[in-house]
Amino acid sequence: MDARRSSTRTLLAGLATAALLAGSAGAASAADASPGAKPAGDGARALCKREPKIDKRIDRALKRLDAGKGRRGSVARLQQRVDNAKKAGHTEIATFLQGRLDTRESLKKNLQDRRKDLAGVKTWCAKNDDGKKAGGSKDSDK
């Protein structure tokens, strides 16, 4: 039994030492990255490259939000749940769901604004050879 206890203690001591070393190495690497470092560019080339994927993601999210009452995640379905809670007299549930509904509606507005902004990015990318023509736009900020 003493051998088992001894090996357990040795294992725990080894793990504690490894954790301390890993923690100090992480702190040292974090210290190397100066917090005041400025980015080398605006990341235009990377954004131009990701634009189609971002556009698809926004479209998919808006499609879900605009779907009918039968689609989970839609504004209409959550509105129906709020109405059902009010009809049933569950005021606390209705209040909670109304907060979620307000958030979801603001998300929809935000996504619509991002779609408009992304259209401008797409136009800019087309005019500037996907960010390659613009000076100082390196891919360091992906």
Task: State pLDDT tens for residues 8-37.
Answer: 667 666 666 666 666 655 555 555 556 667
Lowest mean pLDDT among 18-22, 37-41, 63-67: 18-22
Write phi, then psi, for 23 (nearest 5 degrees).
-65, -40
Distance CA 122, CA 47 (A): 9
Q: Please name the amino acid found at residue 13.
A: A
The token pair at 121 is 């990015």
Distance, CA of 130 to CA of 43 (rounded, Å): 11
Number of alpha carbons in the 13 Å side-chain half-sphere of residue 40: 7
Distance between CA atoms of 25 and 106, rounded to whole angstroms? 42
Residue 22 token pair: 């890993």
- Predicted local distance difference test score (pLDDT) of residue 134: 58
Q: Band the pLDDT of 141: cuts 50, 70, 90.
A: very low
As a whole number, mean pLDDT of residues 76-83 equals 96
Q: Evaluate whether 76 touches 67 at the Cβ level (below 8 Å).
A: yes
In one-letter notation, the amino acid at residue 110 is N
Q: How far apart are CA 86 and CA 65, in angstroms?
A: 22
The span from the CA of 18 to the CA of 11, in Å, is 11
The single residue listed with the structure tokens 């294992």 is 11
